Structure 1
Amino acid sequence: MNWERRLYLAAHPVAYPLLRGLARRGPVVRVPGVGVVVNDAAVARGVLMDGETFRKDGPGSPGELWTPVLGPSVLLNMEGEAHRALRRRLTDLFTPAYADELCGRVLAAPLDRLRDRLASGAPVDLVDAARVLAGAVISEVIGLDLAAEGEFRRLFERGERIVAMVSLRTRRLSPAQIRRARAVLDPLGDAAAKSYAAGDETTVMGRMRTLGLSADEARGAAGAFFLTGTETVATFVPRVVALLADSGRLAGAPADGFLDRAIDEAMRVTTPTPVMLRSVHRAAEIGGAPVRPGDRILIATHNCCRALGPFDPDRPHPPELRRLWFGAGPHFCIGYPLAMAQIRRVVRTVLDATPLRIVERSAARGVLIPTYRHLSVRSEARRRGDGAGAGVVTLVRRGRSAESGADTTFEERTP
Structure 2
Amino acid sequence: MLDPTGRGRDTESAELFARGPATPVDILGVHAWAVADPVLLEELLKDPRISKDGPQHWPAFAEVVSNWPLALWVTARNMFTAHGADHRRLRRLVGAAFTARQVAALGERIEELTAALLDEVALTGPGVAVDLRERLAHPLPIQVIGRLLGLPESLRDRFRRTVDRVFDTTLTPQESAANAAAFYSMLDELIAAKRERPGDDMTSRLITVRDTEGDGGALTEEELRDTLLLVVSAGYETTVNLIDNAVALLLTHPEQLDLVRSGEAGWDDVVEEALRREAPVAHLPLRYAVEDIALPGGVVIRRGEAILASYAAAGRHPVRYGDSGAVFDVTRPVKDHLAFGHGPHFCLGAPLARLEARTALRALFERFPRLALLPGAELEPVESLISNGHRSLPVLLGGGAEGV
Q: Shift in Å at residue 255 of structure 1?
A: 6.3
Which residue type is aligned with residue 291 of structure 2? R
Residue deviations 1:211-237, cap 9 Å, x none? 775373333211112222212112221
Q: Distance in 2 between the 1:256 and 1:223 partners?
A: 40
- Local SS of the residue matching 1:13: coil
* CA distance, structure 2, for counterparts of residue 196 and residue 311 of structure 1: 48
Give 2:338's aligned residue.
324
Q: How far apart are 1:339 and its partner, in Å?
A: 1.6
2:84 maps to 1:76: no
1:138 match: 145
Asked whether 1:287 is paired with 2:303, we answer: no
**Is the contact between residue 110 and residue 359 of structure 2 (CA under 8 Å) also seen in structure 1?**
no
Q: Any idea what the Cα deviations from partners look like across 1:303-344, whole Å, max 9, x if unmatched?
A: 2111221111111336xxx34111111111122122222212
1:40 aligns to what? 37
Looking at structure 2, the residues matched to 324 and 36 of structure 1 have their Cα atoms a distance apart, in angstroms, of: 18
Partner of 1:315: 332
Superposition pairs for residues 9-408 of structure 1, below 5 Å? Answer: 11-14=5-8, 17-30=11-24, 34-57=31-54, 58-59=57-58, 72-102=76-106, 104-105=108-109, 108-109=112-113, 111-115=115-119, 117-118=121-122, 122=126, 123-129=129-135, 130-146=137-153, 152-164=156-168, 166=169, 174=173, 177-195=176-194, 198-200=197-199, 202-208=200-206, 214=219, 216=221, 217-248=223-254, 249-251=256-258, 258-276=266-284, 277-288=286-297, 289-307=299-317, 308=321, 309=325, 310-317=327-334, 322-353=336-367, 354-360=369-375, 361-362=377-378, 363-368=380-385, 369-380=387-398
Q: Are the counterparts in 1 of residues 6 and 381 from structure 2 also a CA contact under 8 Å?
A: no
Matches of 2:402 and 2:42, distance apart in 1: 40
1:237/1:346 contact within 8 Å kept: yes
Residue 377 of structure 1 aligns to a residue whose secondary structure is strand
Q: 1:93 aligns to what SS in structure 2?
A: helix
**Matches of 2:108 and 2:402, distance apart in 1:** 31
1:206 CA displacement: 3.3
| 1:348 CA drift (Å) | 1.6
How many Å separate the matches in 1 of 2:15 and 2:283? 14
Question: Is 1:70–1:223's contact at 8 Å kept on the other side of the alignment?
Answer: no
C-alpha displacement of 1:47: 0.4
Cα distance in 1 for partners of 2:8, 2:148 equals 36
Structure 2: give runs of 5+ residues left out of the alignment.
Answer: 211-217
Q: Cα RMSD over matched residues?
A: 3.6
Q: Are residues 106 and 28 of structure 1, via their aligned partners in 2, closer, same or farther at CA, if it must alter by over 3 Å?
A: closer
Helix, strand or coil at the partner of 2:257: coil
Structure with a larger share of its residues in strand: 1
- Secondary structure of 1:34's counterpart equals strand
Change (3 A) 1:409 1:145: same
Q: Secondary structure at the match of 1:298?
A: strand
CA offsets 1:153-202 (integer angstroms, 9 cap, x no match)? 554223212321x36xx9xx8355223312133223431453366453x3
Contact map agreement 1:358 1:376 (CA 8 A) in 2? yes
SS at match of 1:186: helix
Question: Which range moved further: 217-226 or 48-57?
Answer: 48-57
Distance 1:255 1:82, change over 3 A: farther
Normalised TM-score (structure 1): 0.75
Report deviation, 1:142: 3.1
Secondary structure of 1:372 counterpart: coil
The one-letter code matched in structure 1 to 2:304 is G
Structure 2 CA distance for partners of 1:205 and 1:70, relative to 1, 3 Å: farther
Aligned partner of residue 294 in structure 2, secondary structure: strand
What percent of counterpart residues are identical? 23
Structure 1 residue 93: Cα displacement: 1.8
Separation in structure 1 between the aligned mates of residue 111 and residue 4 of structure 2, nearest angstrom: 31
Describe the SS at the equivalent of 1:237.
helix
Q: 1:67: Cα distance to partner?
A: 6.9
Residue deviations 1:32-79, cap 9 Å, x none?
A: 873333221110000000133344434378x96777589653111110
Determine the C-alpha separation between the residues in 2 that align with 1:283 and 1:192. 41
Is contact 2:114-2:140 (8 Å) kept? yes
Question: TM-score by structure 2 length?
Answer: 0.77
Give the superposition deviation at 1:286: 2.5
Q: What is the alpha-carbon distance in structure 1 between the residues aligned to residue 44 and residue 353 of structure 2?
A: 24
The verdict on how the C-alpha distance between 1:10 and 1:358 changes in structure 2, with shifts beyond 3 A counting, is farther
What secondary structure, in the 3-state scheme, does the structure 2 residue paired with 1:250 have?
Answer: helix
Aligned equivalents of 1:116, 1:77: Cα separation in 2: 39
Q: Per-residue deviation at 1:104? A: 3.3
Report the Cα offset of residue 287 of structure 1.
Answer: 3.0
How far apart, in 2, do the equivalents of 1:132 and 1:121 lie? 21
